[in-house]
Amino acid sequence: MDFDLIVIGGGSGGLAAARRASEYGAKSAVIESHKLGGTCVNVGCVPKKVMWTTSRIAEVLHDAPDYGFNVDCRGFEWSKIKSARDSYIARLNGIYETNLEKASVSYLSGQAHFESSDTVRVGDKVYRASYILIATGSEPVVPQIPGAEFAITSDGFFEMERLPEKVVITGAGYIATEFAGMLHGLGSEVIMVLRKDQLLRGFDSSITQVVMSEMKRSGVQFTLNNSATEIIRQGSKLRIELNNSPAIDDVDEFIFAIGRKPNTKGLNVEVAGVELDSRGFVVTDKYQVTSTKNIFAVGDVTGRVALTPVAIAAGRKLSDRIFGGHSGAHLDYENIPSVIFSHPPIGTMGLSETAAREKFGDDIKIYTSSFKNMYYQITSRASPTLMKLITVGDDEKVIGCHIIGDFADEIIQGFSVAVKMGARKRDFDNTVAIHPTVSEEFVTMR
């Protein structure tokens, strides 16, 4: 069977590209060997946000008496939220399949591999297409250490049948940070094992210092400059051997959150002449074109910004160009906003202070505001807010916008539009503040 476009991978980027191509009249197909929706829907953004919200509710319940409510909280049922969450994801899987049908996109279930630059095999059937898009995403990295089979990854987190009493998480990125906050908020004893001494390296240091300090203050434990060397099963518990500290005993779950690798296994890309980089990611130009001109790649498999909206935008731009007549259409990877659902959450866009100084030297100017949210003025619990603007030049163009604190995840979207449009500090200053809100601090900094 012949198609105009075959998409290998039914995640967000691939689905967006296929549906957009179909809108232009292209005959499209999506090949997926697992569940539709990819990492984000099944073991990423969506179920993670459900669990983050669950842990936030625990915080609100703690604060409720300070607001005059006589709350009788009789405990937390992990099984209940897991069942509700899993049912929600199952509904989304069905919705994705229905949407493909409505868009007249063929859904081919199975494992795909290339037979040539324009031919793909799925089981005993062969399909040919003028264009092929690789959108197979990524998978968690598991180090080769003794006992690694006793650990779980971010995928396994969503399979846990109960809340662990004691959990060790290794990793310093956003996944490790988010899982630590969620589990601790729900009552687990959480120990983080970091290979170096800082969470979220690469993000603005002011923000990362606050999140790490706040996590320590709330009770998350850190073992720094360390890594696991062996995981030992001891009955129903685990013992975690470390290279630079005493072992950690009586652990219920050990979670690897040390990064992700491209999901290209079994694709047979070499037959199609598709180049991979030294880490195995598919190499593309700014138009998502691989080393084989009719084969493209979007999303996590490219090693670029691993965010769902990025994959979606790149996939749509690709179909706009190939099938919609928009000859120059491609995604601009500069100034992409992102959020970390930590405790408290982080919103960030543009350059960090370190990156800005490396690029512009002393030509930058920094504005910051640190305060206690009004919400915490009458509570026994307090969580900090810090906001930061980084500007460059005499006209103070905003090149970095960062916030940590309650509602950061919602606030950053609006300000990212301004930064993307090239706003100057004076544009922020000339905007009337909405009082009393957290976001008003971005337009009142001096």
Q: How do the pLDDT tens digits run along the chain, 446 residues long?
A: 799 999 999 999 999 999 999 999 999 999 999 999 999 999 999 999 999 999 999 999 999 999 999 999 899 999 999 999 999 999 999 999 999 999 999 999 999 999 999 999 999 999 999 999 999 999 999 999 999 999 999 999 999 999 999 999 999 999 999 999 999 999 999 999 999 999 999 999 999 999 999 999 999 999 999 999 999 999 999 999 999 999 999 999 999 999 999 999 999 999 999 999 999 999 999 999 999 999 999 999 999 999 999 999 999 999 999 999 999 999 999 999 999 999 999 999 999 999 999 999 999 999 999 999 999 999 999 999 999 999 999 999 999 999 999 999 999 999 999 999 999 999 999 999 999 999 999 999 99
Two tokens at 64?
Answer: 């409720």
Kindly report the pTM of this predicted structure.
0.95
Choose the final residue of a domain: 212, 242, 258.
258
Instruction: Provide the number of structural domains found in the chain.
Output: 3
Choose the final residue of a domain: 272, 288, 323.
323
Residue 111 lies in a domain: yes
Residue 331 lies in a domain: no
Active site residue 435: yes
Residue 133: CB atoms within 10 A of its CB come to 29
Are both 236 and 186 inside the same structural domain?
Answer: yes
Rg for the chain, CA atoms, rounded: 23
Residue 369 lies in a domain: yes
Question: Which residue's entry shows tokens 């969580």?
Answer: 383
Are both 7 and 132 inside the same structural domain?
Answer: yes
Residue 166 lies in a domain: yes
Question: How many residues would you count in the chain?
Answer: 446
Q: Are strands 295-297 and 260-262 parallel, antiparallel or unpaired?
A: unpaired
The 3 state secondary structure assigned to the chain is CEEEEEEECCEHHHHHHHHHHHHCCCCEEEEECCCCEHHHHHHCHHHHHHHHHHHHHHHHHHHHHHHCCCCCCCCCCHHHHHHHHHHHHHHHHHHHHHHHHHCCCEEEECCEEEEECCEEEECCEEEEEEEEEECCCEEECCCCCCCHHHCECHHHHCCCCCCCCEEEEECCCHHHHHHHHHHHHCCCEEEEECCCCCCCECECHHHHHHHHHHHHHHCCEEECCCCEEEEEEECCEEEEEECCCCCEEEECEEEECCCEEECCCCCCHHHHCCCECCCCCECCCCCCECCCCCEEECHHHHCCCCCHHHHHHHHHHHHHHHHCCCCCCCCCCCCCCEEECCCCCEEEEECCHHHHHHHHHHHEEEEEEEEECHHHHHCCCCCEEEEEEEEECCCCEEEEEEEECCCHHHHHHHHHHHHHCCCEHHHHHCCCCCCCCCHHHHHCCC
Residues 6+ positions from 196 with CB-CB distance below 8 Å: 172, 224, 225
Are both 118 and 15 inside the same structural domain?
Answer: yes
Residue 335 lies in a domain: no
Give the C-alpha separation, 111 to 160, whole Å.
27
pLDDT at 379: 98
pLDDT at 344: 96
Give the C-alpha separation, 380 to 3, whole Å.
62
Residues 6+ positions from 273 with CB-CB distance below 8 Å: 117, 291, 292
Choose the final residue of a domain: 241, 258, 275.
258
Are both 11 and 135 inside the same structural domain?
Answer: yes
Two tokens at 258?
Answer: 């040390």
pLDDT at 1: 72
Are both 208 and 293 inside the same structural domain?
Answer: no
Residue 334 lies in a domain: no
Residue 127: CB atoms within 10 A of its CB come to 20
Are both 268 and 283 inside the same structural domain?
Answer: yes
Residue 108 lies in a domain: yes
Asked if residues 352 and 198 have their Cβ atoms less than 8 Å apart, the reply is no
CATH number for the domain that contains residue 415 = 3.30.390.30
Are both 279 and 399 inside the same structural domain?
Answer: no
Domain ranges, residue 396? 344-443
Tell me if the bond preceding 436 is cis, omega within 30° of 0.
yes
Question: Which residue's entry shows tokens 């687990």?
Answer: 188
Asked if residues 159 and 324 have their Cβ atoms less than 8 Å apart, the reply is no
pLDDT at 380: 96
Two tokens at 173?
Answer: 């990125």
Q: Are strands 384-392 and 364-372 parallel, antiparallel or unpaired?
A: antiparallel
Are both 115 and 168 inside the same structural domain?
Answer: no
CATH number for the domain that contains residue 156 = 3.50.50.60
Are both 228 and 268 inside the same structural domain?
Answer: no
Are both 310 and 238 inside the same structural domain?
Answer: no
Are both 369 and 240 inside the same structural domain?
Answer: no
Question: Which residue's entry shows tokens 């731009």?
Answer: 317
Are both 429 and 394 inside the same structural domain?
Answer: yes
Residue 185 lies in a domain: yes
Give the C-alpha separation, 168 to 227, whole Å.
11
- Residue 207 burial (C-beta neighbours within 10 Å; 0-12, 13-18, 19+): buried
Residue 27: HSE in the Cβ half-sphere, 13 Å Cα cutoff: 8
